[in-house]
Amino acid sequence: MNKTLFMHIVDRISNEIHFFRPKKDGLGRVGLSSLQRCTTAIRVLAYGSAADTVDEYLRLGETTTRSCLENFVEGIIYLFGDEYLRRSITADLQRLLDIGEHRGFPGMIGSIDFNGQALQVTYSVNGREYHLAYYLTDDIYPKWTTFIKSIQIPQGPKVVLFAQHQEAVRKDVERAFGVFQARFAIIMRACIILHNMIVEDERDGYTQFDVSEFQQAEDNRSSHVDFTYTTDIPTNIANMMGARTRIRDRQMHQQLKDDLVEHIA
């Protein structure tokens, strides 16, 4: 997180959340500053550390640290939730598709460890066209067209290369959220909001990718959002069963995985 963004958060929270306003004790001495309280919360969130580990660094005891964390996550949700805790817009989805394609996985929009729904996109792999975006997952997930699992015991150079790429890309997201898997839902919501704020703040300055390599003309993309698709489909039993059948198509799942193996190789 850039200093400018952090100070923006500190400024909003200190002005609008009473807990973070500096207070004086009975002798007129000013207590903990807003900066100390926010820094405490951020450090606990960032490192997943215990509440008593910031005592020497920030001069806060365990009880105060817990209060800082609780009030901070509640303040983040209250002040920034409406703006940053939202469904993906078309531009967000297209950017995910571009990054996924740049890393060898056309049509890939993320990596998950929980139940999700596929968004409608169109992309081609190994000369074949597909219409369901997919997530990279580990081996516990079923063989559906929206899940692309790694290969536990890869045989042959092409399959080994695919497994290496799949696991490397998947672990990016899993590492980012691994610290918070056992935390309360409210902390997860605050972390997602903070993540989205950081992404927006640093969107044009990522060091992970040379943005010019995948932000090319639309004609050079194989993955794009399908604008002809509408989510306003009647939820009758025929449509529901049709969508269920497409998502759970094991033959299509294996075909897509085979095409990805060839594409990456």
22, 23, 27, 29 alpha-carbon torsion, rounded to 10°: -10
Position 259, amino acid? D
Return the pLDDT at 120. Answer: 64
Return the pLDDT at 265. Answer: 76
Is the Cβ–Cβ distance between 98 and 214 less than 8 Å?
yes
The secondary element (H helix, E strand) that includes residue 258 is: helix 250-264
Return the pLDDT at 252. Answer: 84
Return the pLDDT at 171. Answer: 73
Measure the CA–CA gap between 46 and 44, rounded to whole angstroms: 6
End-to-end CA, the chain = 36
Return the pLDDT at 13. Answer: 94
Measure the CA–CA gap between 118 and 67, rounded to whole angstroms: 38
Beta bridge partners of 225: 121
Return the pLDDT at 61. Answer: 77
Question: How far, CA to CA in Å, does 31 sit from each of 11, 23, 116?
Answer: 17, 6, 45
Strands 147-149, 128-132: pairing kind: unpaired
Which residues of the chain fall short of a pLDDT of 50? Answer: 113, 115-118, 179-180, 182, 207, 214, 217, 230-231
Is the Cβ–Cβ distance between 136 and 111 less than 8 Å?
yes
Measure the CA–CA gap between 194 and 75, rounded to whole angstroms: 11
Assigned token pair, 107: 């049509």
Return the pLDDT at 116. Answer: 45
pTM: 0.51
Is the Cβ–Cβ distance between 200 and 85 less than 8 Å?
no
Return the pLDDT at 215. Answer: 52
Return the pLDDT at 235. Answer: 56
